[in-house]
Structure 1
């Protein structure tokens, strides 16, 4: 089966045709851990394939030396399910870029957004919502909720979240904000590495009404001045987080260099004996520093 892709004057990341490839000719880039094979998500994907087939083709790239061999960039679970079902081939998109991580930046690693995209594609192909609900082992209300998951989200915020594991209800909180504030809030979540619903609600609470889709309800017991002060404190905190984010990269590099230097120092038995005899406190700190870095 071959499906022509739209032509373009811009260099494409994929070949013009999708390709039906024998599964034995596709080499996965990783082994699926046992935990993944036993996960609910794996079972959902297996049920979905059994019910409606492959909706989003796996992505492969040709081997540099054997062009009839392919390396799997995306779709390890789908390929594993197909192989266990006894399928002999699968339609794939063939990437042209020779770095797996380059393609990985283009795709969604967020389970909820991946599911959202899959549901939309299935519905576009005429798959009934009831059938999708059976395939994903969820109720019909959940399917309708996920179908409308990104309504009200700006593209920039979606792009920032595409590789993050974000609860559906967190996205619901973000949708209460206007686009510019969504981007700011998502940036804070990424800096803090915190995507919980509670944190999202706190960001909404600290957002001025002018940056919300609908004005928030007044908090009982707080005056207008107190609410305004909270919003000002939130804005200050936003700026501080952004400063920390900018400084983190250079500070981390300095730390790596310093720890590497210390490791070379204490690799010498003579230096260690000298420090142990005359500067045991320094040796203790050097040892702690390298131990913490290894743990990190």
Structure 2
């Protein structure tokens, strides 16, 4: 066994401790407007219904055994204060750096929330209790529970971590599976997951690719002739995207190599001097390519 001079340091003390809420010193007090937000009300309802799911994180203060730094869980502690609680069980961090706990906020996507609700229902939790815990209407819980019914598995896999509204999945349900895949690929390529964009894709979907819809599609302010033109343009766009995807990896690799080569070439003063005297137009383009942060930025 290899021994090192620096033993591994644990991030948290092994046991949680119960402390007085009055002894907590917040490193980032919540703004007054937070209490008026819907998210605050949802967390408050959850605390009332099922208690704290995750303990606040605190750190000890050297030379002060009576107080603690509150690193994470400011909103939860504020809610406990409002509920008249005087103590809270906390996780004790061995590091007093609050950035570690707050540098990212992980939010549930619509697909992840659907999976969470289904798991709760499978364990016997009623829709009413889930609604109370999440501060939602019961109909919203039922809607979330059936969100992915009719959506093909490939699309669910592609959008499972994507933050998109529930309406997008409900629009995709109105298409056949193959068209669902095409529409999803277009949304990913455009990095646009809004309901408005999904509605436009639905409007451009041929009738024979709709699931159960046989009536002609009508969009306010769009004539049938414009709709037909939109469908043709969309079909051409999909063909172009398919062609680009086939060569994108190879082209991007070649451009990356070219960018690196030009960077080294322009690092040679003699080459720069020659280009400046004989081919100044080349030098301008070479410098633009070498200085580009990414080829995506160049395209934009």
Q: How much does 1:290 deviate? A: 2.3
User: Would the aligned equivalents of 1:109 and 1:162 in 2 still touch at CA under 8 Å?
Assistant: no
In structure 1, the residue matched to 2:151 is 153
Please state if 1:273 is matched with 2:234.
no
Distance 1:128 1:249, change over 3 A: same
How do residues 142-181 of structure 1 correspond to structure 2 at under 5 angstroms?
142-181=140-179
Give the number of aligned pairs: 222
Please state if 1:215 is matched with 2:224.
no
Paired with 1:267 and 1:45, the residues of 2 have a C-alpha distance of 56
Residue by residue over 1:79-108, the C-alpha shift from the partner in whole angstroms, topping out at 9 and shown as x without a partner, is: x76x9974669xxxxxxxxxxxxxxxxxx9
Q: How much does 1:162 deviate? A: 1.8
User: Would the aligned equivalents of 1:170 and 1:200 in 2 still touch at CA under 8 Å?
Assistant: yes
Residue by residue over 1:198-249, the C-alpha shift from the partner in whole angstroms, topping out at 9 and shown as x without a partner, is: 22111111112221122244438855x8755543443332222211222222
Paired with 2:51 and 2:149, the residues of 1 have a C-alpha distance of 26
User: Would the aligned equivalents of 2:276 and 2:283 in 1 still touch at CA under 8 Å?
Assistant: yes
Q: How much does 1:53 deviate? A: 7.0
Q: How much does 1:150 deviate? A: 0.8
Distance 1:109 1:239, change over 3 A: farther
Secondary structure in structure 2 of the residue aligned to 1:293: coil
User: Would the aligned equivalents of 1:129 and 1:140 in 2 still touch at CA under 8 Å?
Assistant: yes
In structure 1, the residue matched to 2:235 is 235
Paired with 1:173 and 1:123, the residues of 2 have a C-alpha distance of 25
User: Would the aligned equivalents of 2:118 and 2:145 in 1 still touch at CA under 8 Å?
Assistant: yes
Unaligned runs of 5+ in 2: 1-10, 15-27, 29-33, 54-71, 78-87, 93-105
Paired with 1:43 and 1:259, the residues of 2 have a C-alpha distance of 52
In structure 1, the residue matched to 2:134 is 136
User: Would the aligned equivalents of 2:112 and 2:161 in 1 still touch at CA under 8 Å?
Assistant: no
Residue by residue over 1:162-221, the C-alpha shift from the partner in whole angstroms, topping out at 9 and shown as x without a partner, is: 232222111111111111211121122222222221221111111122211222444388
Q: How much does 1:46 deviate? A: 8.7
**Bigger Rg over Cα:** 2
Secondary structure in structure 1 of the residue aligned to 2:292: helix
User: Would the aligned equivalents of 1:177 and 1:212 in 2 still touch at CA under 8 Å?
Assistant: yes
User: Would the aligned equivalents of 1:167 and 1:197 in 2 still touch at CA under 8 Å?
Assistant: yes
Q: How much does 1:138 deviate? A: 3.2
| Candidates 88, 95, 120, aligned match of 1:122 | 120
Distance 1:269 1:48, change over 3 A: farther
TM-score (norm 2): 0.60
Paired with 2:252 and 2:108, the residues of 1 have a C-alpha distance of 27
User: Would the aligned equivalents of 1:47 and 1:136 in 2 still touch at CA under 8 Å?
Assistant: yes
Q: CA RMSD in A?
A: 3.9
In structure 1, the residue matched to 2:286 is 286
In structure 1, the residue matched to 2:250 is 250
Paired with 1:24 and 1:183, the residues of 2 have a C-alpha distance of 48
Distance 1:86 1:273, change over 3 A: farther
Unaligned runs of 5+ in 1: 1-21, 26-33, 56-79, 90-107
In structure 2, the residue matched to 1:200 is 198
Paired with 1:227 and 1:281, the residues of 2 have a C-alpha distance of 45
